[in-house]
Amino acid sequence: MSDRDKVWPTGLTEAESEEIHRHLIQGTQIFGMIAAFAHLLAYIYSPWLH
């Protein structure tokens, strides 16, 4: 059994852990893009930073 298939204390293998992490990073990126767009609208249409 290679180290890659080892089940860690959380019950996950390295491959499973990296898959979860990929989804988390993707969610963060989508959230960040929506937040950046919302801040752009707030900058344009509100007195913020003017």
Tell me if residue 16 falls in helix, strand or coil.
helix
Residues touching other proteins: how many (CB under 8 A)? 18
Both tokens of residue 6? 């080892």
Q: If binding is defined by CB under 8 A, does position 24 make contact with other proteins?
A: yes
In the complex, least distance from residue 43 CB atom to other proteins, rounded to whole angstroms: 12
Q: If binding is defined by CB under 8 A, does position 39 make contact with other proteins?
A: no
CA distance 15 to 19: 6
Scan for tokens 């089940």, then name that residue.
7
* Contacting residues toward other proteins, per CB under 8 A: 8-10, 12-14, 16-18, 20-22, 24-25, 31, 46-48
